[in-house]
């Protein structure tokens, strides 16, 4: 009978402290890449929700703003007619009456409506989504600008990371694969550096770990701030309402329609 040999245990590292710091650094890099991905996904989800708000509520909000502006003008005209009767349309009426009326009713120029948000990309299938996330984590660990202190390389990394973020936001798997095939360092052969001493290497690793720890804390704060924002809270309310069989945005649209109808009725009465 042949006994199956037990696999040999890996030999202990030649420098346990160096190996520990390198493992810690790899874990920090993975955690930062995961936080970057969570933040980007949260921002993309919010962008999709904001696009739905604009589609369903934006026209009604702009209609109400237009009605309020027209109503302010109609109220001004009604006040002029009450004060001056048939002379209300005369051009030589004193300006102070109009100024007092505007001060009383709070009328004035209205701000321009916000620009339309860009349309959100169509959601990919499950396998593509998993591949997008895998490539994003890989490329974030490779190109993130906070993973170097050299100014020239930091600038190069920032440009690559911007491409990675844009490709992920567009769900462009081909672009992410193309970025994966690109070099991991800036082009051009740098002069060979002198090999660092052990103490210098340990010091560099500790500094890099500290920097990644601070970066991770900042990303967590950004995620917490985003989660506490009014837009995300509204998105959560809409999600919970949908699970309960309600359409929160539809209810908000109905309220806006009722408000617009009320303003239209008041405007029609003033214009009679």
Number of residues in the chain: 272
pLDDT digits (tens, 9 = 90+) for 32-48: 999 999 999 999 999 99
Residue 245 has pLDDT above 70, yes or no: yes
pLDDT of residue 156: 85
Domain ranges of the chain: 18-113+126-183+200-271
pLDDT of residue 1: 47
Residue 56 has pLDDT above 70, yes or no: yes
Percent share of the chain, pLDDT over 70: 78
Mean pLDDT, residues 14-22 taken together: 90
Whose structure tokens read 């109905």?
254
Measure the CA–CA gap between 239 and 236, rounded to whole angstroms: 5
Residue 71 tokens read as: 């109503």
Average pLDDT for the chain: 83
Residue 142 has pLDDT above 60, yes or no: yes
Contact residues for 18 (Cβ-Cβ < 8 A; gap 6+): 198, 201, 202, 205
Residue 1 tokens read as: 């009978």
Residue of higher predicted confidence among 213 and 99: 213
Mean pLDDT, residues 46-66 taken together: 94
Q: pLDDT band for 14, please (50, 70, 90 cuts).
A: confident
Its pTM stands at 0.62
pLDDT digits (tens, 9 = 90+) for 221-238: 999 999 999 999 999 999
Mean pLDDT, residues 218-222 taken together: 95
């Amino acid at each position: 009978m042949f006994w199956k040999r037990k696999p040999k245990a890996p030999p202990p590292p030649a420098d346990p402290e160096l190996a520990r710091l390198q493992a810690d650094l790899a874990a920090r890099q993975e955690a930062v890449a995961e936080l970057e991905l969570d933040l980007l996904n949260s921002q993309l989800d919010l962008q999709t929700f904001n696009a739905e708000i604009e589609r369903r509520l934006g026209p009604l909000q702009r209609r109400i703003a237009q009605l309020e502006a027209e109503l302010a003008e109609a109220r001004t005209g009604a006040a002029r007619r009450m004060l001056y009767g048939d002379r209300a349309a005369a051009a030589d009426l004193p300006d102070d009456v109009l100024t007092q009326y505007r001060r009383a009713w709070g009328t004035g120029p209205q701000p321009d409506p916000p620009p339309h948000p860009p349309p959100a990309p169509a959601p990919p299938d499950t396998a593509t989504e998993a591949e997008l996330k895998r490539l994003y984590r890989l490329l974030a660990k490779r190109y993130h600008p906070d993973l170097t202190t050299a100014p020239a390389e930091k600038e190069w990394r920032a440009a690559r990371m911007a491409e990675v973020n844009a490709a992920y936001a567009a769900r462009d798997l081909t672009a992410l694969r193309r970025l994966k095939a690109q070099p991991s360092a800036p082009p051009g052969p740098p002069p060979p550096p002198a090999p660092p001493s052990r103490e210098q290497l340990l010091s560099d690793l500790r500094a890099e770990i500290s920097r990644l720890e601070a970066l991770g804390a900042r990303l967590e704060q950004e995620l917490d701030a985003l989660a506490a924002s009014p837009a995300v809270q509204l998105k959560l309310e809409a999600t919970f309402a949908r699970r309960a069989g309600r359409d929160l945005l539809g209810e908000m649209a109905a309220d806006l329609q009722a408000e617009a109808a009320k303003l239209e009725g008041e405007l029609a009465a003033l214009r009679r």
